[in-house]
Structure 1
Amino acid sequence: MLTGRKYRLELSVEQAMLAEMVGSICRTVWNVGLEQQREYRRRGRSIGYVEQCRQMAEAKADFPWLAEAPSHVLQQVLRDLEGACRRHGPFRVRWRSQRRWAPSMRFPDGKLIRVEQVSRNLGRARLPKLGWVRFRW
């Protein structure tokens, strides 16, 4: 199973472009969510994960590019942000800059990922919106 480890995926050109775009969307969601956390804190209030997810779902209607990323990946970004803000405070959490941060994403729901062993050393996984992706077992 893929849980708990980092695997180097072998992506096609189309998959690599899509993964890069989803990673950029995740970075944007992190930065907007962080600014929202900071703004609420300046007003003496706080905003939680559930409210930010609700607002992100509403924002998908106004910004269709948000819908190009899997929803549960974006929700995981907000969950990670909430944890970071809870541990360190929103003003100590850093922005994810395009130059310093490598695009990445996490698929939290293992039920949506199908994994098959192709050979002794190779496997493949079906990832939401990316399709079948090969990796070294």
Structure 2
Amino acid sequence: DGNSVLTFGGPSPASEGPSAGGFTITIEIVQGQTAQGQAQEGSQVILQAIPNDQVTSYRWTFTSNQGTIDRGYSAQLVIPRATDQDSGVYTCEAISARGQSARGSTNLYVTSGYVQPAPSQCRP
């Protein structure tokens, strides 16, 4: 209906393995956010992986109730026109130049951006 809003969970850096130095990756919304963690349906949304070390490879996956699919292999993931079909969990796994692996994830879900006005309470 053109009035849905995408809402993103906060960044969740996570490091796999007890590696010294702790290679981590954080996911940020760099385009399409209209309010804290929200974007209008139909807009372009860009997720950015921000590692704390040099990265040799990226892999984005998308998980929904339909399963998990690969979505890209670069530091950015672009959703050209976000719809309710884009609802789910976006995860970026990166491999550092030192061979360490880290993942960052964020939740994305679509809610209606249209707020129905409350009925007026008019009294004679």
By the TM > 0.5 criterion, same fold?
A: no
